Amino acid sequence: MNTLRRERSEAAARTRGADLRRVARRFWPETALLLGVVLWWPAGFWGLGSWLRLPLRLLDGDVLVLGAAAAAATVALLVRAPWPRLGVVVAFSGLGWVLSAPSRDSVPGERADLAILVAVAALVGIALGARGPRSLLGTAGVLAIVAGLSPATWPHGLPLAVALALPFAVATWARVAPTLLSVARLLVTWLVFGLLAASLRHGWAALGPHRPSDSGRSQAGRVLQAFWHYLSTQWWAFSQSTLAQQVGWFWVAAVLAVLIVVARVLTNGSRRRSPAGSSSRPGS
């Protein structure tokens, strides 16, 4: 009798779980679109100004590029459909522009240059985030990219910790080495994009105050030269210091990975018991 009651309760739990998964699949596109709308600005610009305001000054162009790319990548991670994804990015970039754009240029052609920077960064962000919804490892990769790029002030170690734990959601005993390689690849991805972001900030700092004799080509040359100098000479020091700063979040990632593995073991154990229980019924 107890066995029959337990089997019935397990069957009811499986039915409820299947119903919840069907409901989640049914409403996920709308939920993801809403999350994309809500998270666009915080992902790229949280803590840098008032809500939905963008840093629309040429001297802050590095922050604008990095924030727009991180925000667009976050939307692309959540919203699978291309046109709604592009619509969210374009609509909120335009809204941020309307709320933040200066009434006149502080340097010649400033607003036109800023518009180009926003558009290019948004397209790059969409391209980086578009592969995220395809798999858990793709999602982890986009989280690592956003953690490395975003200039926002939220704790960047949090998405990194989640990214490093996600490979264990698809790990098996036969795939220990590939799982560890995936974790290492995610770490490298985060470091690479963090280094690119730091190099861009260093390069942009070379602009300095505008001089009448400056041309767009000379300014771009200064930025690229300083960008490459930092990238080629500071990559090792940057990697060491960045890894040291995130040690606490690596422990968080380890705890999350253990919880994911335990949850998978318990879930798989209950699934194995259910067929065994069914086959032991009388007359089966």
Phi, psi angle pair for 250, to nearest 5°? -65, -35
Q: List, for residues 96-139, the tens digit of each pLDDT value.
A: 999 998 878 777 788 898 999 999 999 999 999 999 988 999 99
Q: Could you tell me which of 68, 199, 169 has the C-alpha nearest to residue 127?
A: 68
Phi, psi angle pair for 215, to nearest 5°? -105, 165
User: Reduced to 3 states, what is the DSSP secondary structure of residue 167?
Assistant: helix
How many angstroms separate the CA atoms of 87 and 191, rounded? 30
Q: Could you tell me which of 191, 282, 281 has the C-alpha nearest to residue 241?
A: 191
pTM of the complete model: 0.86
Quick one: pLDDT at residue 137? 93
Q: Are 196 and 228 in contact (CB under 8 A)?
A: no
The residue with greater pLDDT, 27 or 100, is: 100
How many angstroms separate the CA atoms of 174 and 274, rounded? 24
Domain positions in the chain are 2-279
